[in-house]
Amino acid sequence: MISILLASYNGEKYITEQIESLLCQTFQNFKLFICDDKSTDDTYSLVLRYAEKYPDRILVAQNKENSSSAKYNFMQMMISHKDDYVMLCDQDDVWLPNKIEITLAKMKEMESRVGADSALLVHTDLRVVSEDLTMVISPSFKEAMNSNFNRVMLRDQIIQNTLTGCTVLYNRSLADLIDRMPRFMVMHDWWLMLIASAFGGIEGIDAQTVLYRQHGENSIGAKDVRKISYKINKLVNYSDMKLALEETYQQAESFLGAYRAQLNYEQIELLETYCKIPGMSKVRRWQTMCRLGCLKNGISRKIASFIFV
C-alpha cells in the first residue's frame, strides 16, 4: 500500500486535474491523504466531494489554523502518516499515468539490492509546462536546473538539494525516521533528502513523470539556470544568495540536533565543522568547504559559493 500525501491551500484552479491524474494511474493500490491548510477559496469543498465519492481511496482533513507554509503542512503529514511507501503530491501538478508504477518498480529493485530495512528514497525528473498544460517550457527540469542525481552523499545534500518533492517515493524505514518537526528547515523535501543521505540511499530516475505546471502562484517554480540572464540576476541579487547559503548552516545545525544520537562519528564531525564555517575567515571558509567536499554542482554555482561564502 502506498500513501500519497497532498498538502492543499487555495488550489481550486488546479487541484481537480491533479486528483483526476491520480485516479488514472496504472498502479491503483494507494490511498490519497489530503490536508487542507485553511483554504479561503473552494479547495476544501472540492476535495471533500472527492472524499465522498471515493471514501475508500481519498481521506481529507483540515488544519485548525493555517500553518503559514506548505512545507509545514507537508512535514506534519509526513510525521503523521507511515506506510510501506509514501509519495508527496503538489496540488497544481499533473501526474503522468505511469508515475507510481515506474517509481515503485525502482524502489522494489533498490530494496532487493540494499534491503528494505534501509531508509530509501527514489525521485524522478519532471516536464515543465505552461499553466494550461499545452506548452512544454522545458522537456527536462533536471537539465534546466543543471541538477546531478548522483549527488547523494550527506556532504552533497547539506549545501544543495537535488530533488523535487513532488517526484518522491520513500519506504517505511525512512518514514519511521521522520518523527519531529525540525527546529529549522529550508524545505520539507530537502529535509527528506538529508535523512535519506545520512541513513540509507537515494536514486534518481531520468524519466519525466510529472507535468510541472508554471503559474503566478508557484512557491518555487522552474528556472533555466543555464541562461546568462539567470546568472546575472543571481549576482545582482547577491543578498538572496548569501541568505540561501546561511540557511544551509541553520538547517545543518537543526539536522545535527535532531539526529545526533543516530549519526556516526564521521557524519557528526562533518555537520559540526560545516556549522562552524560562518565564524571562520574568508580563506578558512574556502579551505573548509573544499576539505569537506561541500561544493555545489556546476562551475557557476561553485564560483558563486566561493564569492559569497
- How much is the pLDDT for 296? 85
- How much is the pLDDT for 215? 82
- How much is the pLDDT for 304? 66
Q: For residue 94, which amino acid is it? A: V
DSSP letters, 182-239, are -SS-S-HHHHHHHHHHHHEEEEEEEEEEEEEE--TT-SS----TTSHHHHHHHHHTHH
Q: Which CATH number fits domain 2-213: 3.40.1190.20, 3.30.70.360, 2.10.109.10, 3.90.550.10?
A: 3.90.550.10
Q: Facing residues of 202 across strands?
A: 121
Model's pTM, two decimal places? 0.90
How far is residue 22's CA from residue 30's CA, in Å, rounded to a whole number? 9
Q: List pLDDT tens digits, range 12-60.
A: 999 999 999 999 999 999 999 999 999 999 999 999 999 999 999 999 9
CATH 3.90.550.10 occupies which residues in the chain?
A: 2-213
- How much is the pLDDT for 231? 47
Please count the other Cβ atoms lying within 10 Å of the Cβ belonging to residue 139. Answer: 14
Q: How far lies 55's CA from each of 186, 265, 273, 291, in Å?
A: 34, 48, 50, 54
Q: Which three cell numbers stand for residue 77?
A: 503529514
- How much is the pLDDT for 143? 94
Q: What is the DSSP letter of 126?
A: E
- How much is the pLDDT for 223? 53
Could you say which residues of the chain have pLDDT below 70?
216-238, 298-306, 308
How far is residue 284's CA from residue 290's CA, in Å, rounded to a whole number? 10
